[in-house]
């Protein structure tokens, strides 16, 4: 798909639509990057939600991600929507069309605006602080169009209509979806939003009709029947598929959407969602829920998880399963609470006093967020250990269309036993896993204790028994190593250059390698970052050059790889300013290191 943009002087649309003179035309890539920017409270997220769904229904592949400030009103928030006739799952720096809805929007995105960027904005709103000759500027009176539709607050609906008009989506589909979206509102609000979108649609279609903007996207009928899934929804659905029936959390960005999702659909799927008074209580509730026979998850971010650490060690001593969704954001302390980073791997790995086994997953895609969260519940139950699902703000707040989720063979694997009268909760077994009973199921007495204990669960200071109990708990690692998910190799098997990444960088690095087009370079992605798979050493030794990509300052996975293999990954592409990697950044970073 190509986007051809030619901007020239013309009479414009109705009152006040005019164009800055440009004579050159631009032939763009095979997708379109649309960015909308406005202040918090202007409904930018509503625009993102509506446009991604409307364009998907029109047969376009879509990807959306957002960056936003830590404030309820004001500032400058933006959302990027990529639209293509092929699947797109990663952000780019390039902006083809920018819709600026407030003063400061152009300055906020200054570094991403190029001479090829078409800016749709209201001149009176964005002001004169930005040199509009740097781009292709089209003055659109969003506020006046919205006011004529009923109220200037409908500017976001006007923006939806403009973009839909550029892609020539049938106007009835646009207004119909908007009416459905606002169906819980009053009839006046429903009609006004639809009217604002229809007026915006005319602006967009007039631009297309006059040849000012031409978007050639080949719709795919198959895309219309696909689903749009976000990272938070994928984690929530994965939890449901894993049998989760209890979640406890204290709201903390960027993890809060998972709690909200499970609370919203809890009644449909039998999930109790508890907003605890703090993270300490949340973790202890999750432990108590597993003790009673539920399958529970705690959801938090780094600062909240710091409060859960004592509870984490409690679960280890009790040998109680727990699943922790840890959504990373920049730290220390409050850091950048609405931004993204991959800097909590070591926190998840080393948190807790004492020594005990754990598993850490780091989904690389929205699909993996679903599958790995589901798997986390089964493994936590099987080995009676904490299992982490490590995401970040970028993954949680991203969306794209997928064909479906494969539920074949997916089952809730429970490992609870019916107890007998002589039941011992911490019975010594050959593999280190004691049969786990729950109160009320069987005739046995269930005794657990946070102190070191004997096989019956009673407190002990028998030092020889203490050693045996520690060994029993650690022995599980030998079994866990047999279930470690191997890293995924993408690219030629006979590579000379190996690019290592983990977690949410998967799709960005994969697309960047496609842009590079090198037949000597492959990507090795880790979706399980602890324990590391035993074939790691083999992969690394086959490479002449190893580069690691991480969203942190100290290469936390790189340190784990050195600890595991003895191999120092010396070349790094790191980012830790609070924003996700873009495809261009990875391309530039790799080009600077590769010959």
pLDDT tens digits, 319-356: 999 999 999 999 999 999 999 999 999 999 999 999 99
CA dihedral 214, 216, 222, 228 (to 10 degrees): -50
Task: Tell me the longest C-alpha to C-alpha distance in the chain.
Answer: 90
**DSSP codes of every residue in 341-377:** ----HHHHHH-SSS----EEE--SSHHHHHHHHHHHH
Note the pLDDT of residue 30: 67
Helices vs strands, H then E, count in the chain: 21, 24
- In this model, does residue 27 exceed pLDDT 90? no
Tokens 């699943």 identify what position?
A: 323
Backbone φ and ψ of 356, nearest 5°: -160, 155
Overall average pLDDT of the 80-107 stretch: 95
Residue 193 has pLDDT above 90, yes or no: yes
pLDDT at residue number 580: 98
Q: What is the pLDDT of residue 214?
A: 82
Domain at 485-593, CATH from 3.40.80.10, 3.40.47.10, 3.30.70.580, 3.40.50.920:
3.40.50.920
Reported as type and span, the H/E element at residue 464 is helix 463-474
- Residue 388 in this model has a pLDDT that exceeds 90: yes
> Which tokens in the block code for residue 145?
């169009």
The answer to whether the beta carbons of residues 527 and 361 sit under 8 Å apart is yes
Q: What is the pLDDT of residue 25?
A: 32
User: Comparing C-alpha atoms, which of 21, 40, 4, 3 is closest to residue 139?
Assistant: 21
Q: Residue 307: pLDDT above 70?
A: yes
* Residue 61: predicted pLDDT: 97
**Strand residues in 132-211 grouped as ranges (E):** 136-139
- For residue 278, what are the contacts with CB-CB under 8 A and spacing of at least 6? 250, 307
Element (H, E) at 585: helix 583-593
Q: In this structure, is the dihedral angle defined by the CA atoms of residues 132, 156, 226 and 243, taken in order, positive or negative?
A: positive
Per residue in 56-84, pLDDT (tens digit) is: 999 999 999 999 999 888 889 999 999 99
Q: What is the 3-state secondary structure (H, E, C) of 245-275?
A: CEEEECCCCCCHHHHHHHHHHHHHHCCEEEE
CATH class of the domain at 228-402: alpha beta
In sequence order, what are the residues at sequence separation of 6 or more whose Cβ sits closer than 8 angstroms to the Cβ of residue 29? 2, 3, 94
Distance CA 557, CA 501 (A): 8
Question: Residue 308 has which token pair?
Answer: 């859960």
Residues 571-583: tens digit of each pLDDT: 999 999 999 999 9
Instruction: State the Cα angle at 292 between 291 and 295, rounded to 5°.
Output: 80
* Assigned token pair, 318: 């009790």
pLDDT given for residue 131 in this prediction = 83
Is 188 in a helix, a strand, or coil? helix
Mode of pairing for the β-strands spanning 136-139 and 213-216: unpaired
* Burial of 255: CB neighbours in 10 Å, binned 0-12, 13-18, 19+: buried
Judged against a pLDDT cut of 80, whether residue 466 lies above it is answered with yes
**For 448-476, what is the mean pLDDT?**
98
Other Cβ atoms within 10 Å of 24 Cβ, number: 10
User: Over the chain, what is the mean pLDDT?
Assistant: 93
State the pLDDT at residue 217. 77
CATH 3.30.1370.30 for domain 2-225, yes or no, is no
pLDDT class of 199 with cuts at 50, 70, 90: very high
The predicted structure's pLDDT at residue 72: 84
State yes or no: pLDDT of 29 exceeds 80: no
Distance CA 297, CA 501 (A): 27
pLDDT (mean) for 85-100? 95
Does pLDDT of 13 surpass 80?
no
pLDDT over 70 at 547, yes or no = yes
* Interatomic CA distance for residues 430 and 146, integer angstroms: 71
Which tokens in the block code for residue 394? 């970028």
pLDDT value of position 8: 28
Fold match flag (2-225 vs 485-593): no
Confidence (pTM):
0.94
Better pLDDT: 360 or 5: 360
Order across the sheet with 528-530: list the strands.
272-275, 246-249, 296-300, 322-328, 386-392, 359-361, 528-530
Quote the pLDDT of residue 6: 31
**Contact (Cβ atoms closer than 8 angstroms) between residue 62 and residue 163:** no
pLDDT in tens, 499-522: 999 999 999 999 999 999 999 999
Measure the CA angle with vertex 303, ends 232 and 242; round to 5°: 35
Domain residue extents for the chain? 2-225, 228-402, 416-483, 485-593
């Amino acid at each position: 798909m190509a986007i051809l943009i030619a901007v020239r002087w013309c009479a414009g649309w109705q009152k006040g639509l005019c164009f800055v003179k440009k004579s050159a035309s631009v032939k763009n890539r095979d997708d379109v990057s649309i960015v909308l920017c406005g202040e918090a409270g202007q409904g930018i997220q509503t625009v993102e939600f509506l446009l991604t769904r409307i364009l998907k229904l029109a047969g376009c592949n879509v990807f959306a991600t957002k960056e936003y400030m830590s404030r309820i009103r004001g500032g400058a928030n933006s959302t990027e929507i990529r639209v293509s006739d092929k699947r797109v799952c990663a952000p780019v720096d390039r902006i083809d069309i920018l819709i600026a809805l407030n003063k400061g929007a152009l300055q906020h995105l200054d570094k991403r605006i190029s001479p090829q960027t078409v800016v749709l904005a209201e001149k009176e709103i964005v002001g004169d602080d930005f040199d509009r000759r740097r781009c292709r500027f089209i003055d659109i009176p969003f506020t006046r169009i919205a006011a004529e539709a009923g109220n200037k607050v409908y500017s976001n609906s006007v923006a939806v209509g403009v973009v839909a008009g550029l892609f020539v989506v049938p106007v009835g589909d646009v207004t119909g979806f908007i009416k459905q979206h606002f169906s819980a509102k009053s009839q006046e609000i429903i009609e006004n939003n639809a009217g604002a979108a229809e007026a915006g649609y005319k602006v967009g279609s007039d631009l297309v009709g006059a040849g000012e903007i031409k978007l050639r996207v080949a719709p795919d009928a198959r895309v219309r029947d696909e689903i749009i899934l976000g990272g938070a929804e994928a984690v929530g659905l994965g939890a449901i598929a894993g049998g989760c029936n209890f979640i406890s959390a204290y709201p903390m960005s960027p993890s809060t959407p998972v709690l909200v999702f499970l609370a919203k659909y809890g009644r449909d799927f039998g999930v109790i969602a508890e907003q605890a008074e703090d993270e300490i209580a949340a973790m202890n509730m999750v432990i108590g829920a597993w003790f009673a026979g539920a399958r529970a998850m705690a959801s938090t971010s780094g600062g909240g998880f710091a409060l859960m650490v004592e509870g984490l060690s409690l679960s280890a001593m009790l040998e109680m399963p727990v699943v922790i969704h840890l959504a990373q954001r920049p730290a220390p302390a409050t850091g950048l609470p609405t931004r993204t980073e991959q800097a909590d791997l070591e926190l998840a790995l080393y948190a807790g006093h004492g020594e005990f086994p754990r598993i850490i997953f780091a989904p690389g895609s929205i699909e993996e967020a679903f599958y790995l969260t589901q798997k986390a519940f089964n493994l936590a139950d099987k080995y009676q250990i904490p299992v982490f699902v490590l995401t970040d703000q970028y993954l949680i707040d991203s969306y794209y269309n997928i064909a479906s989720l494969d539920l074949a063979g997916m089952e809730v694997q429970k490992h609870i036993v019916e107890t007998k009268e002589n039941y011992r909760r911490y019975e010594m077994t050959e593999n280190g896993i004691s049969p786990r009973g729950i109160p009320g199921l069987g005739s046995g007495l269930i005794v657990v204790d946070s102190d070191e204990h004997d096989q019956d669960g009673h407190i002990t200071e028998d030092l020889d028994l203490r050693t045996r109990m520690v060994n029993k708990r650690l022995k599980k690692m030998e079994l866990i190593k047999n279930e470690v998910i191997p890293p995924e190799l993408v690219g030629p098997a006979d590579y000379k250059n190996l690019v290592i990444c983990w977690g949410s960088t998967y799709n960005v690095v994969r697309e960047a390698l496609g842009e590079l087009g090198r037949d000597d370079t492959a990507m090795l992605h880790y979706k399980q970052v602890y324990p590391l798979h035993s074939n790691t050493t083999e992969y690394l030794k086959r490479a002449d050059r190893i580069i690691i990509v991480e969203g942190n300052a100290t290469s936390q996975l790189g340190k784990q790889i050195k600890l595991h293999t003895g191999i120092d990954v010396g070349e790094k592409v790191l980012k830790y300013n609070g924003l996700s990697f873009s495809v261009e950044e990875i391309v530039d970073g790799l080009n600077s290191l590769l010959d």
